[in-house]
Each structure stands twice: as C-alpha cells, then as structure tokens.
Structure 1
Amino acid sequence: MAKVITQATFDDVVKENMVEFEMSAEEAVNDTVEQFQSQGVNLLNIIQDPSLYGSGGEKKELPVISALNSLKSSLSANKEEDILQGLAQLKLECDKDLAVRCTAGNNDAYNTLLQAVEKYKDNLSLLKQTLLSMISLTNGQPDLLDNKGKELFLELLELHSSNPEVLELALLFMRNTCIKHEANRQSFVKLGLIEKLASILKTHRSQANIVMVTCQTLQVLTFDDDIRVLFGQAHEHAKMIVTEGNALKLIIDLCKDFKEKPEVMSELFATISKLVVRNEFCQAVMEMGGIHLILSAFQDSIAKKDIAKQALSVTKALAGNDNVKEAVVQNGGVQVILAAMTKHQANPRIAELGAATLGAIVLRNESNCKRVMELNAHHVLLQAMKIHSQDVNVQRQCCMAIRNLVARTREYCNLFLELGAESLIQDAQRNHKSCQDETKAALRDLGCEVHLEERWKGENKGLAQ
C-alpha cells in the first residue's frame, strides 16, 4: 500500500524550505516533491502549484476552496443565478486534476452538492448543473458516495424517467462511483439498479446517448477492479443482468436499430462481451442472430478502430461456445478478423485481440484450423509478432494462437517454421519473461527444441523464480 500525506503536511514542508533555506516557491515545491517521492509517498492527492505560496511560505486560499465557499454562500441565500455560477466554477476547478478533487472532497463538497440535488431535484436547470459538478467531483473518488446518495440517485431515475438529459447525468454519476468500488456496485444492485437500467433501455431505445451510458453502467457492474476486495460479484452481476434484466435480447435488438451508428454499436458489443459469462448465454446470442449481426457490423465498419476492437472482443468472448466457433467460421468471421488485423496492423490492441480471437476459434476444432490456415492466418500472426515484438500481450496471444493451430494438426507446423516462427517465438521468450509458458507451449507443439526447467522437486523449498 502506497504511503500518503495530507495537504497540510506538504504545505508545512514547503514553508520550511522557503523560510529556513530561502528557496523560491518553485524550488521549495520541487524539493518537497522529490523528498516525499524518495520516501515512496504517493502525491496524486496533493496540489503542487507554486503560485499558491506567498513570499514567506504562507498558503493562499486554494481556488477550489474559494469556489466551494462561494457556492455554500449562494446556496444559503438561495439565489439561482449565483448558485449556477458557483456550481460551474466548482466543476471547472474539479476538472483540473485529482488533487483538486481530493481537496474539495475533504472540505465537504460532496455533502454540499448532495444537499443541493435533494433540494433542487424538481428544478431542472439547477439539478443538471449540480449533477455535472458531482460527476466531476467523484471522478476517481468513488469513496465519497454514501447510502443517502445511492438512494437519492435511484430516486432520480424514477422521478425523471422521461427526461433523457437528467437520466444521462445521473447514470454518469453512478458509473463514476462504481469504478474501482465493489461495495458501491453491490449496494446499487441490491437496491434494484439492474431492473431500472433494463427499463431505461426499453423506454429510451431510440436515444443514442442514453443507450450508450446505460450500457457503460451495465458494464461497470461486471468489473472486478477493486483491489481492496478479495472476491467480487462480477460474475454474479453479469448473470443477474442477463437473467433478471433480459439484457441480451434487449441489446441484440438495439444492435439492429443502431447499425448505422458505430459508436453506439461499439458500446453494445462491449456490453455483450461482459455479459456472456456462461456457455448458455453464448448459445442464446447465436440463436438470436447475434453472430451474423456482429460480423456484418464488423465488416461494414472495419476501417474504424474502436468498433474493430469491440467486435473482436465480443467474438472472442462468444467463441468459448463450440457451436459459436462453427457459426463464426461459416459466416465469414475468419476473413473479417484477418482483414482487420491486416488493415490495422500497426495497432497492437487489434493485433492482440485478433490473435486471441483466432486462438479461441481454432481451440480443439480441427476443421476450423484447416479453414484458418487456408486463409493464410500464419502469415498474419507472424507479421503481427514482427511488428509488435516489444508488446508482451501481442506476443502471448500470437503464441497461443499458433499453439492451438498446430496442437492437433501437426501438418501445419512446417508452414509456420518456413516463415521463421521458431526464431520469432524464441525472441519473444528472451524479451518477455511473463510469457514463458506460452512461448514454450508454441515451440513444443511446433516440434522445436524447448528447454523445460523443473521448478519444484518435492523438496521443502519454494518455487524457483
């Protein structure tokens, strides 16, 4: 766990440097930063602006504190124009960086804004500006959310169910407070957020912005990104979204409605890839015509990197089902995947996802291996390894794809070896210590020489590192 300090501690050291060592404000701040960083202190929550210190090291009032105090005064006076101006100024300050947001959060900004939401929930202009300020404040600070806030924002979804602007802002806030915070995710789910999100998708299915932000909120409920929690509920939440919210059918239908909007399709694909956590869910997507729909959209928007990434990601997720693998090949999916990898060959993320998708499609399926090799996938995979030799994820996924292609069909080994696969994989093995298992598996199944190390011999010692 990284060490942290308060703003006051940082300011005291800056003042000491200025008074005791006659440093300028800029020198004092730089020296203080170096001092704390050498001690392993995380300074992301600290404002380090030299212009905020006087000649004697005294700290001037921070702009974010001034904005917050001005807002509090305006709220007390209940002057709408002043409140709007105060909210806009606070948002402007919070948008600067995390340190400013932390300072605002430590000075009761969250409670001030939450009270404003509660007080003005029927005043659209004030409510929308307050929500914008809360979104800025909670960016990177999900811990600020309390039970009162959770209940109030769920109430807003009901109260303004027919207002797309308020819904979008409320959902953006909820998404912010669920990122890297498992407790908030679980609380929202227990309070019925999944059903509300499904209802919003049905009611506002023609509103592109609402569809996108609702999908983003569904996605974040399936994240497992809170390092403070040993076991999260990501899988359970994904299952609930599918079974209780009937989300897969909703999203597949929406894909048909937004075929001409790649940015919306990208979010829909990303959501499907997060939800197909069980074999029967993958099967359900295929039976609803999802494979043909995804591959058609992929082909139509192959020049767009974002949709190419999401289409590859969702295809890989669905290919965990053996029937889906067959459907992808039969619908021309391999051609589209290879075309995307070739068109965007300089993009490491597309190379990684493309290789991973090919590896999933051919796993334990000899007929798929044959089709993939007929389409010269070996050329594309090895070219990706050459171009992205320093990207460990590309190297790992390409090695796995090669291994899956030749593990049961040894007749393809020479096709890889003739193109220099052995030396490329050996280079990856030397350059990337974290993908030793994948490189050794690829070399082994290609029939190449592999040095296997016996890391544990049953003795009372730890594993060799």
Structure 2
Amino acid sequence: MAIAISQEAFDAMVRENMEDLDMDPDEALADAVDALTLQGADLSGIIKRVPGEAAAAEVSPVMRVLDELKASASGRSEDDLDKLASLLDELRELCAGEGLENAAVAVRNGAVEALIGLCASAGIKQERLLASGLKALSSLLRDVGSTEKFRHGEGPQVVMGILKGGSESSDILEGGFRVVAAASAGNEVVKECFMDLKVDELILQIMVEKSNSNVQSLYDAIRVLLTPDDNRVVASQVYGYSRRFAEIGIAEVLVSALREKVAPSSLPSACAALKAIAVNDEICRSISENGGIDVLLHCIDEASEQKNKVIARSCCSLLSKLAGSDANKATIIQRGGFDKLLKLTSRFSEDPPVIQEVMSMVTILTLRSPENAARAIGAGYGTLAIQAMQKFVSSAQTQKQACLMIRNLVVRNPENRYVAQSPSTVVS
C-alpha cells in the first residue's frame, strides 16, 4: 500500500531542501516530489507548491473554491444560495473530466464531507442548490478512497433521502443518480449500502410513477450497481442484485421505456442497463416475451436509417446478450434479424466497431446450430467475413471476430467451407 503523507509533511520537506540543502525553490519542489515518489508515498491530493509562495490560489484554484464554499455555507438567503450554487458548479467544472488531480486535492481537504453536509442540510425546494451540490459531489468520487469517505460520511443515506423527496425534479434525479453511479463504481460495499437501502425499489417507483424516464444517470446507475468491478472482492454479489432487479419488474419497465419513452441520447445507457440485468436464460426469455427483441430490431432499423452508430452498437450488444438464450435465437431469426443486421453493415461499411458487433451477433446465433449457419451463409455472412478481413487488415478485433464467426459458420456445416465468395458486395 502507498505511504500516506500530509500536506504539512510535504511542505516541510520542500522547506528543508531550501533551508538545509540550499536548493532553489523549483529544485527543492522537484526533489521532494521525486524522493517521495521513489519511497512509494501517495501524493494524490497533495498541492505541489513551495511553502510561503504568494498567490496560493493560483497554484490550486480548487482550494480557493473550497474556502469560499466553506465561508458561504452558512448563508441561506437567495443571494447566498445563488453564490453557493455557482461555486458548486465551478468546483464540478474543475474536478470533472480530466480534473483528476483537482478532485484528489478537494477530497484530501474535506470536500466530500462538506458536500454531503451541504446536501443534507439543503431543503428539497432549494432545487438548484441541491442539483449543483449532487453533480459536484459526483465529480469528486473518482477512486476507492473518495467513495469510502462518501460511505463513512453516510452519503448513501443522504442521497437516497434526497432522491425520495426530490423525485419530481429531473435535475435532482440526474444529480442524485450521478452520485449513485460514481460512488458505486469499483466499490462493492457502497453497492451493498444502496441495495440495503432498496435503491432498486426506488428506481422502479420513479420509472413507473414519474415522467422522468429520460434521466440518463438513472440508467447509468443501474449498469454500475450491477457490474462486478471491485477487484478487492473475490465473489461479487451483483449477480444476485441483477436477479432482484428482474424479479421486481425493472427489466419489463426498461423494455417499455425503450419502446415509448427513452430519448435517443439516453437509449445507449438504457440498453446497457437492460444488458446488466439480463444475467440468465430466464431473464433473457422474459425480456423477449415482453417484446424486447422486437423493440431492439426496430431500433436497429432506425439506427441504420439515421446512421447512428452509437445506438446501433448498443442495440446489437444487448441483442447479443439476449441471444444467449436458444429460444431467443429462433425469435431473432424469425423476425428477420439476419437481413436487418446485414443491412446495418452496409450502412456502416466504414465503421469496424459496428461490423464487429454484427459479426459477434451472428457468431452467437450460429453457435451449435447448423440450420442457422446455413441461413447465415445464404444471407451473405460468409462474404461479409471475407471482405471485412480484407478491408480492415490492421483491426485486430475485426480479424478476431471474423474468424470466430467463420468457425461457427463451418464447424458443423462442412459444405460451407467451400462456398464460393458471393459476387455481391456487402462491405464496399
């Protein structure tokens, strides 16, 4: 484990380099960083500064924002609330995306605890303040250290209370479920906390009763809660969580949302959420029985017409998961799946990732099925494999997926090994 070091200890080492070893400030700072790194010290969140330098805020703008937040947190007038919300928005911008170092500095200096307290004390009617606070908090939760601070600060309980009380506000829901997703990523214990607080039942209630079905972070939260991504855990509980989500009806509600409510921008996230729930044959068949395959094939048709490769890939990926059920394979083929998928490859003939998803889908549909392999060859998938390999020589994943598909096309159909390449061009 990395050696913990405080900001005070770091500053003292830099000062010692200057005073005892007569180094200039820049040299003293660089030497301290190098020496501590070699010793295995954890320097995340440490402000790399020369002690006593003026304009410390310029060195770490996140500290300036944090200081102003703490100074303004006691105010509750309208002007104070607007100022707080603006500061929270600024903190989020500093820490989101590539702002990993800023987030580490903020976490080390108590930002997680401060934002949990701020959100806990704010009223539900203070919608802008709460939404800004939640989104800022989600930008800080970037590793196990920050998510553990969130857990120990009773963050799951606070966020669940806000989501229950603010379910009429799409902004609060967006911010709240961003926190659920960020806090649960890579932390099995936080996932368990949210499940113990019945986050699955809350998600179902919001999706069924409210008109906020296009909150993308809600779908992201489902996906993260059901992803076994904590390397510290030998056996994750998420498989059981997926079954819980399915048992209370969230899979059916997601299918309904895909059919009627989900905005195009949120559709890939909704597909990923449903894919995370589809963990066994029973659930996959249930999704199909509720119209899931028909919905996905329709979405693939629309993605093909609109040339939306993000939606095309996400729908194909989910359809591949559902095809793990032998009963669903027959349904997909009966609904014209082979033709729809081949049409998709012609629309995205210059996009290897989409072609890879289609070939993966066909690989699953033809697994241990000579009849389906014969249909696939007749539809033109032998030609697709050959031409994709010729066209995308440098794409290792395309080459691999084409080989896997070819294997399933010929392993139980010796006659397919000698089928001449079709003169028709699938991938131009």
TM-score range, shorter chain: 0.7 to 0.9
> By how many angstroms is 1:283 displaced?
1.4
1:365 to 339, 350, 369: 369
Give 1:73's aligned residue: 71
Give 1:319's aligned residue: 323
1:161 to 167, 170, 175: 167
Question: After the TM superposition, which residues 82-121 of structure 1 pair with which residues of structure 2 at under 5 Å, given as runs?
Answer: 82-95=83-96, 97-121=99-123
In structure 1, how many angstroms separate the alpha carbons of the residues matched to 2:30 and 2:343? 50
| Amino acid aligned to 2:199 | L
Query: Any conservation in 2 of the 1:258–1:264 contact (CA below 8 Å)?
Result: no
In structure 2, how many angstroms separate the alpha carbons of the residues matched to 1:277 and 1:346? 32
> By how many angstroms is 1:385 displaced?
3.0
2:345 is the alignment partner of 1:344: no
| Amino acid aligned to 2:74 | S
> By how many angstroms is 1:348 displaced?
3.7
Give 2:426's aligned residue: none
Q: Larger relative contact order (C-alpha < 8 A, sep ≥ 6)?
A: 2
Give 1:135's aligned residue: 138
Moved more, 274-283 or 73-82: 73-82
Query: Any conservation in 2 of the 1:138–1:144 contact (CA below 8 Å)?
Result: no
Give 3-state SS (helix, strand or coil) of 1:118's partner. helix
Query: Any conservation in 2 of the 1:208–1:264 contact (CA below 8 Å)?
Result: no
> By how many angstroms is 1:45 displaced?
5.0
2:241 to 216, 237, 242: 237
2:150 is the alignment partner of 1:145: yes
Give 1:454's aligned residue: none
Q: What is the TM-score with the length of structure 1 in the denominator? A: 0.78
Question: After the TM superposition, which residues 35-434 of structure 1 pair with which residues of structure 2 at under 5 Å, given as runs?
Answer: 45=45, 52-53=49-50, 60=56, 62-78=60-76, 79-95=80-96, 97-122=99-124, 123-140=126-143, 141-146=146-151, 148-204=154-210, 206-210=211-215, 212-244=216-248, 246-258=249-261, 261-302=263-304, 303-415=307-419
In structure 2, how many angstroms separate the alpha carbons of the residues matched to 1:299 and 1:368? 21
> By how many angstroms is 1:3 displaced?
7.7
In structure 2, how many angstroms separate the alpha carbons of the residues matched to 1:39 and 1:346? 49
Cα gap change, 1:31 to 1:377, in 2 (>3 Å):
farther
Cα RMSD of the aligned pairs, angstroms, is 3.2
Q: Render the CA deviation track for 1:14-65: whole Å, top value 9, x for unaligned.
A: 667777585674x7767776777778878665556xxx547x8799353222
In structure 2, how many angstroms separate the alpha carbons of the residues matched to 1:397 and 1:34? 45
In structure 2, how many angstroms separate the alpha carbons of the residues matched to 1:331 and 1:381? 23
In structure 2, how many angstroms separate the alpha carbons of the residues matched to 1:319 and 1:352? 16
Q: Render the CA deviation track for 1:177-233: whole Å, top value 9, x for unaligned.
A: 1111111111111110000001111123x43532x3222211111111111111111
> By how many angstroms is 1:395 displaced?
3.2
In structure 1, how many angstroms separate the alpha carbons of the residues matched to 2:28 and 2:394? 39
In structure 1, how many angstroms separate the alpha carbons of the residues matched to 2:273 and 2:314? 9
In structure 1, how many angstroms separate the alpha carbons of the residues matched to 2:128 and 2:269? 29
In structure 1, how many angstroms separate the alpha carbons of the residues matched to 2:418 and 2:411? 13
In structure 1, how many angstroms separate the alpha carbons of the residues matched to 2:336 and 2:90? 53
In structure 2, how many angstroms separate the alpha carbons of the residues matched to 1:14 and 1:92? 30
In structure 2, how many angstroms separate the alpha carbons of the residues matched to 1:384 and 1:236? 39
Give 3-state SS (helix, strand or coil) of 1:180's partner. coil
Moved more, 96-105 or 35-44: 35-44
Q: Render the CA deviation track for 1:228-252: whole Å, top value 9, x for unaligned.
A: 11111121111110002x0121111
In structure 2, how many angstroms separate the alpha carbons of the residues matched to 1:182 and 1:262? 31
> By how many angstroms is 1:128 displaced?
2.4
| Amino acid aligned to 2:212 | Q
Give 3-state SS (helix, strand or coil) of 1:263's partner. coil
Q: What is the TM-score with the length of structure 2 in the denominator? A: 0.84
In structure 2, how many angstroms separate the alpha carbons of the residues matched to 1:233 and 1:248? 19
Cα gap change, 1:297 to 1:93, in 2 (>3 Å):
closer
In structure 2, how many angstroms separate the alpha carbons of the residues matched to 1:179 and 1:126? 25
Moved more, 4-13 or 97-106: 4-13
Cα gap change, 1:235 to 1:394, in 2 (>3 Å):
farther
In structure 2, how many angstroms separate the alpha carbons of the residues matched to 1:332 and 1:3? 59
Query: Any conservation in 2 of the 1:53–1:59 contact (CA below 8 Å)?
Result: no
How many equivalent pairs are there? 410
In structure 2, how many angstroms separate the alpha carbons of the residues matched to 1:336 and 1:183? 42
Cα gap change, 1:68 to 1:351, in 2 (>3 Å):
same
In structure 2, how many angstroms separate the alpha carbons of the residues matched to 1:133 and 1:291? 38
Q: Which runs of 5+ in 2 are unaligned?
A: 424-428
Identical amino acids, percent of aligned pairs? 24
Q: Render the CA deviation track for 1:107-135: whole Å, top value 9, x for unaligned.
A: 11111111111211333232222223212
Cα gap change, 1:13 to 1:257, in 2 (>3 Å):
same
Q: Which runs of 5+ in 1 are unaligned?
A: 420-465
Cα gap change, 1:102 to 1:167, in 2 (>3 Å):
same
Give 3-state SS (helix, strand or coil) of 2:419's partner. helix
> By how many angstroms is 1:413 displaced?
1.4
> By how many angstroms is 1:376 displaced?
1.6
In structure 1, how many angstroms separate the alpha carbons of the residues matched to 2:341 and 2:379? 11
| Amino acid aligned to 2:111 | A
In structure 2, how many angstroms separate the alpha carbons of the residues matched to 1:38 and 1:219? 38
> By how many angstroms is 1:344 displaced?
2.6
Query: Any conservation in 2 of the 1:131–1:169 contact (CA below 8 Å)?
Result: yes
> By how many angstroms is 1:279 displaced?
0.8
Query: Any conservation in 1 of the 2:316–2:361 contact (CA below 8 Å)?
Result: yes
